[in-house]
Chains A and B, each alone.
Chain A
């Protein structure tokens, strides 16, 4: 093991988890009756996934229900073994050496399970710490520190069953940090939490990655959360990666560029269609222009390259059309994802080159 670890840390895969062509098949026995022989059926939960989780970064895995997110995270965390493919951590074969890997990782799931409800927060942490071989003053100090960073010092000696959902989730984070893992797998950590607690947890996740240089894999249903936290995003659908990149790259990939919204005040004898007709008639302007209806009334939406927006504004000024407001709009990641997942059956696209 030592030589393997040494070799691993010296090679280019040091400081990251690398998964190549991971496949996970489950054999499902179909129950068709008490005395009917069960039929075996192979379920391809994950078909072919290659990804990287570097230390100090937050890697997001997004997808709709049944996309294979949880199976992927469980494989990466060595809870389940892949059917085929390779998985390395710091260059070490993580499938063969799963106990070695388990010393260096931890997993946090959303929801209220995974804790002993009748034990207090401190007792829970002491128990899980002991499973990692921690004991004595060192463990006590670590527990005190973790309770402080998740802000549960005052509830340290209260049974977990008395905790709110947010407190349980914060304790789960403390449990996930008890072995000071290099990599942390977070499966929907803010699931069902109110916005205040969710924000606190997001700040903590960000701190763990940026300050403590932990490699974090985050799965979430909340696109805004991914947009706020993730340095790199993999989009899964039907057990495959259908797109990957930074959030900016994903937006660019699917031609979701910023656009300019212009609020104008037409003359008495003019309407929006006249203005657009005038703009489109200008030979120097080739942007797509349309009218959008928003809460504040109708506006002109100008897409295309941002450096040519000025020519539209100049034209409006030349035609003495009063511009009453301007704003630059950016697409939400959610819109991008909807488009990616919607298109996934038609074609597989990816940003060229992994920039991590």
Chain B
């Protein structure tokens, strides 16, 4: 366990030094998500007085999008990082060298995910928290729920990111998962449109994304949208995360066996 924690710590540190080494990068990690957020906000704003999607006013819309976009950015950064890190590590030859060590493979995959998450989203999360305070969504009464929300997002995104990292161990061409997951995740998870406004088939589809449950729980806890409860969402999230952990465990073993047979970790 101690060795696995060391590996996770080393991965976080490596990512910070390797990818987030200048102020400009930090700045861009805030600017682009904020621009994306503003684009979505101003796309929906013209409908604020129509009661569209159950939003009473602009502040409610901001709170709705703020919570959705914060959770989405955490998950999306995992997809993006899995692709870029795998790409860089293959090109640099370091992926194979890390697999030459006896380090816990699962810890390496989760460490990479956690490292990217911490670096990539904290500034944007600060921005979202500011938005939520501005809209009155977060006040003194529910401020205590913020650590719970962050923990929820960190754990869920890391498990999601760890699974994606293992997929990239199989193939350098796994970048197709960026296309497979991004648009459906944005659409069906309810980050921008409430799931309840979907047709039945789309509601069913939304259940496969852990992001859906994270957004639902976050909005429930912060009282952004009226919901009956969060037990169902917690159970759904637990099942989703459990399934992802099992998939990751299986994939890590299969990836190691596959690469030992084919020697493909050296290809880039």
> B-contacting residues of A (Cβ < 8 Å)?
26-27, 71, 74, 77-81, 98-100, 102-103, 106-107, 109, 111, 113-119, 123, 126-128, 130-135, 175, 179
The A/B interface has a contact count, at CB < 8 Å, of 90
With contacts A126-B10, A135-B6 known, is A80 near B263, CB below 8 A? yes
In the complex with contacts A119-B18, A130-B9, A130-B10, A79-B260 CB distance below 8 A: yes
Q: Are the C-beta atoms of A26 and B262 separated by less than 8 Å?
A: yes
18 residue pairs A–B, Cβ–Cβ below 8 Å: A78-B100, A78-B260, A79-B260, A80-B259, A102-B102, A107-B97, A111-B93, A113-B93, A114-B96, A115-B92, A116-B17, A118-B21, A126-B10, A127-B10, A128-B101, A130-B9, A130-B103, A132-B102
CA distance in complex: A106, B99 (Å): 11
CB-defined contacts of B3 to chain A, threshold 8 Å: 133
- Cβ-closest chain B residue relative to A79: B100
Closest to A118 in B: B18
Which residue, A117, A131, A135, has most C-beta atoms of chain B within 10 A?
Answer: A131
On B, residues with C-beta under 8 Å from A are: 2-3, 6-7, 9-10, 13-14, 17-19, 21, 92-94, 96-103, 108, 259-263, 265
- Decide if A130 touches B7 in the complex (CB within 8 Å): yes
Given contacts A127-B13, A130-B6, A133-B6, contact A102 B100 (CB under 8 A): yes
User: Contact at B260–A114, with CB atoms within 8 Å?
Assistant: no
**B14 engages A119 (CB within 8 Å):** yes
With contacts A114-B92, A127-B10, A127-B13 taken as known, whether A103 is within 8 angstroms of B102 at the C-beta atoms is: yes
Decide if B101 touches A131 in the complex (CB within 8 Å).
yes
In the complex, are the beta carbons of B18 and A132 less than 8 A apart? no
B263:A114 contact, CB within 8 angstroms: no
Cross-chain contact A114 with B21 (CB below 8 angstroms): no
Please determine whether B92 and A116 come into contact, CB atoms closer than 8 angstroms: yes
Contact A131 B17, CB 8 Å, known A79-B260, A80-B263, A102-B100: no
Q: Which residue of A lies closest to B8 (CB)?
A: A130
Chain B hits for A134, CB < 8 A: 6
Query: What are the nearest 4 A-B pairs in CB distance?
Result: A113-B93, A130-B10, A131-B103, A133-B3
**Smallest Cβ-Cβ distance to B93: which chain A residue:** A113
The answer to whether A106 touches B100 (Cβ under 8 A) is yes
| Given contacts A118-B21, A130-B7, A130-B10, A81 and B94 within 8 Å (CB-CB) | no
Residues of B with C-beta under 8 A to A78? 100, 260
Question: How many Å lie between the Cα of A116 and that of B6 in the bound state?
Answer: 18
Chain A residues with Cβ under 8 A from B260's Cβ? 78-81, 98
Contacts of A126 on B, CB cut-off 8 Å? 10, 13
Q: Chain B residues near A123 (CB, 8 Å)?
A: 13-14, 17
How far, in angstroms, from A175 to B97 measured CA to CA in the complex? 10
Neighbour of A99 across the interface among B98, B102, B259, B265, CB < 8 A: B102
- Please give, as numbers and ranges, the residues of chain B lying within 8 Å of A179 by CB-CB distance: 101
B30 to chain A, nearest CB (A): 21
User: How many Å lie between the Cα of A97 and that of B18 in the bound state?
Assistant: 32
**Chain A: CB-nearest residue to B265:** A79
Interchain CB contact under 8 A, B101 and A102: yes
CA distance A116 to B94 in the complex (A): 7
A131 touches B261 (CB 8 A): no
Nearest CB of A to B26, in Å: 15
Find the B residue at minimum CB distance from A123: B17
User: A26-B263, A98-B260, A118-B21 given as contacts; is B98 within 8 A of A131 (CB)?
Assistant: yes
Q: A74-B263, A119-B17, A130-B9 are in contact. Are A114 and B93 (CB under 8 A)?
A: yes
Residues of B near A71 (CB, < 8 A) are: 263
Minimum Cβ distance to chain A for residue B115 (Å): 11
How distant is A223 from chain B, measured CB to nearest CB, in Å?
26
Report how far A26 CA is from B264 CA in the complex, Å: 11
A69 → B minimal CB distance (Å): 14
- List chain B residues, Cβ under 8 A from A77: 100
Given contacts A74-B263, A131-B10, 13 further A-B contacts (CB under 8 A): A26-B262, A79-B263, A80-B259, A80-B263, A114-B96, A114-B97, A115-B94, A123-B13, A128-B97, A130-B103, A131-B108, A132-B101, A175-B97
Q: Which residues of A contact B6 (CB under 8 A)?
A: 130, 133-135
**Residue of A102, A115, A128 most packed against chain B (CB within 10 A):** A128
Nearest CB in chain B: distance from A333 CB, A: 30
B261–A80 contact, CB under 8 A? yes
Tell whether A131 pairs with B7 under 8 Å between CB atoms, given A102-B100, A114-B92: yes
Q: Which residues of B contact A115 (CB under 8 A)?
A: 92, 94
Q: Report B-chain residues with C-beta under 8 Å of the C-beta of A102.
A: 100-102
Q: Which of B9, B96, B108 makes the CB contact (< 8 A) with A79?
A: B96
Give the residues in chain A near B13, CB-CB below 8 Å: 123, 126-127
Chain A nearest CB: distance from B211 CB in Å? 31
Residue of A nearest to B256 (CB): A98
- With A80-B261, A100-B102, A131-B101 known as contacts, the answer to whether A116 contacts B10 (CB < 8 A) is no
